[in-house]
Structure 1
Amino acid sequence: MEEFDYRIRWRSAEVLPGAHRGLRDGPGSEFHGHVGLLGAPDPRRLDLRASLAMPGGGWLFRRTRQTSGIGVVLLADVSASMGAGAAGAVKGAAGGGHGISPDAGAGRMALLARLARLTGHSARHAGDSFGLVAADTAIRDDLWLAPSRAPGAIAEIADRLDGFVPTGHGHAGLIDAADTLAGRRRLVFVASDFCWPIDDVERLLTALAPHQVQPIVLGDAAAEAVPDWRGLVEIDDAEGGAARAAWLRPSQRARWQAALADWRVGLAASFAAHGLTPLHADASLAAEDITQWLAEGG
């Protein structure tokens, strides 16, 4: 199984050892000052040179910090837009109209499942726990994984995502999911198409501010394309759940393209305001892509 490398920007306070810089004293190679004879010293770490140089005498022992584990979480958007493609968005109105295979938007959920496998395996290899919280209008209890290092649990939750058909019209549950992460700082990967109002993106990023957040924008070319069609069509709003008829003409298509461009600019600005550089992922996503993104300060 592929895996990617990641680093954290803070010191972990976790008790369990791992691969990251920690706050706790313990076995390790990072020097953290000296302790006297009465400070519960480790006799193996006697610093003879420092002891001899100490005015008034006395024994000094080296203190070191242990490397610690962390909690890695994948916060997954499973709202209806994650399963919607152009077919679900625009359909011919009156028989014989335009249409695209209903599987056009299925790529995002397959990509999300692959990301869960990659992240879970990478966390486990690093000695960290992996948890997954999925949400649409509410947190999905059937797609929830408590922090675990068990490979079977990680494989099972990824398989559930792979077979899940999104139907929830909304993403409010993601804000609630962020609140469940209160406590110790975590590395949080947020995977979504982010096809929401920018104000809602801001709310989510603000709620996740205590953590190290790594946003991943899941793309699907078929779902994001503005169809070059003309005539009467039925438009489904995957997030809102509403459907309406519209006469599709070049001017309308131009307005949609402009709105899509504005949304992309707004999304980029929102991430930048929080000091975040998202990874734009599609079906070709590989572990080395994530490693490179994180190494470059993603």
Structure 2
Amino acid sequence: MSLAREPAGPPRRDLPYRLFGRARGVAPGAHRAVGSGANGAFLRHVSLLELPDARRIDMRASLLDPLGGVKVRRFERRARIDVFVVLDLSGSMAFGRSHRDDDPVADLCAAIAHAAIRGQDRFGLIAAGPTPRADFVIRATRRRGVPDEVWTRLRAEAGAGRGVGGLLRSIEELPTRRSLVFVVSDFLMPPEALDGLLGQLWRHDVVPVVVRSSAVESRLPRFGLIETRDLETGRRRLVLMRRSLRERWLAEARARRAALDLVFRSYGRPGFDLVDRFDGDAFADFLLSGGV
């Protein structure tokens, strides 16, 4: 008698994400921020007249000043940021995710939530497909139970419907202050929808995550009948796979991914490929490199 293996739970690891540019928040945190403060790295010495704070007077630097000025230590300011996931829940996102213990999208989103809260930042989620989903909006929070909540809910909701109109409307829920926004989607959408999605996020630092499946991009039979189904419309089609069609299919998949990266770079940084499963080490390397 075999027992079904229970899912181990959401990934729990630190991720080296950072905001391009300086944060503008007022709450203390780990990110370089605009202005000076007391919780960051040492920047330089300035005159006491420029920074009238006697607590930070450096006696050694003051004695060495040939002009006899009083020198004060100035530190960079560190602030907290908001980290959001904007998730596409259209029907095409369900491919390869249903009835799996290791849902890559749920694992990714939960890992981001865990890293943000552990890093003293706030995490939020906006998820929708063709229509807005108020039940999938999580305001920016530091609540410790959020990673488990996100992981459980997303494993039960793979996506349905056609289009991302609801997601485009739901983005208005994002704060106006610059945030780090992970956009998670397969990006199987018309160019105008893609431009509309990324264009609305112009004030934020955007990290695209492209959800892909090797089953439709590389693990194709060289010959034989295959049945295809559009997950957004339900339309089915029987296709005779042959060598020429397979090569054209793969070439179009590569061309589409290259075109996506050109669009992503025009909005800030390239995308990360989430293929079949969530690889925490690969994602951490991508973030550490700055996505370049």
Q: TM-score, normalised by structure 1?
A: 0.78
Segments of structure 1 that go 5 or more residues without pairing to the other structure are: 86-102
Alignment-derived partner of residue 235 in structure 2: 243
Residue 134 (1) aligns with residue 130 (2): no
Q: Distance in 1 between matches of 2:69 and 2:251?
A: 74
Could you tell me how far apart the structure 1 residues matched to 2:119 and 2:165 are? 32
CA positional deviation for 1:46? 1.4
Is the CA contact (8 Å cut-off) linking 2:205 and 2:268 kept in structure 1?
A: no
Partner deviation per Cα, 1:186-205 (whole Å, 9 max, x = no partner): 11111111122233223222
Deviation at 1:11, TM superposition (A): 1.1
Residue type of the alignment partner of 1:292: D
Q: 1:116 to 1:292 in 2, by over 3 A?
A: same
Change (3 A) 1:48 1:169: same
Paired position in structure 2 for 1:2:
13
- For 1:143 and 1:32, how far apart are their aligned partners in 2? 46
Residue identity in the other structure for 2:89:
V
Alignment gaps of 5+ in structure 2: 1-11
Coordinate RMSD, CA, aligned: 3.1
Give yes or no for the alignment of 1:230 onto 2:242: no
Q: Which of 114, 124, 148 is matched with 1:155 structurally?
A: 148
Distance 1:249 1:223, change over 3 A: closer
Report 1:77-96 matches (<5 A): 77-85=88-96
Structure 2 distance, partners of 1:271, 1:260, is 17
Deviates more, 1:15-24 or 1:109-118: 109-118
Scaled by the length of structure 2, the TM-score of the pair is 0.80
Partner of 1:127, secondary structure, is coil
Q: Percent identity between the aligned chains?
A: 32
| Separation in structure 2 between the aligned mates of residue 200 and residue 4 of structure 1, nearest angstrom | 30
* Closer/same/farther in 2, CA of residues 230 and 58 from structure 1, 3 Å limit: closer
> What's the secondary structure of 2:74's corresponding residue?
strand
> Do 1:75 and 1:132's aligned partners in 2 also have CA atoms closer than 8 Å?
yes
Counterparts of 2:23 and 2:212 in 1: how far apart (Å)?
33
Query: In the aligned structure 2, how far is the partner of 1:221 from the partner of 1:107?
Result: 16
Count of residues in Structure 1 that have an aligned counterpart in Structure 2: 275
Which has the larger displacement, 168-177 or 24-33?
24-33
Matched, 1:278 2:290: no
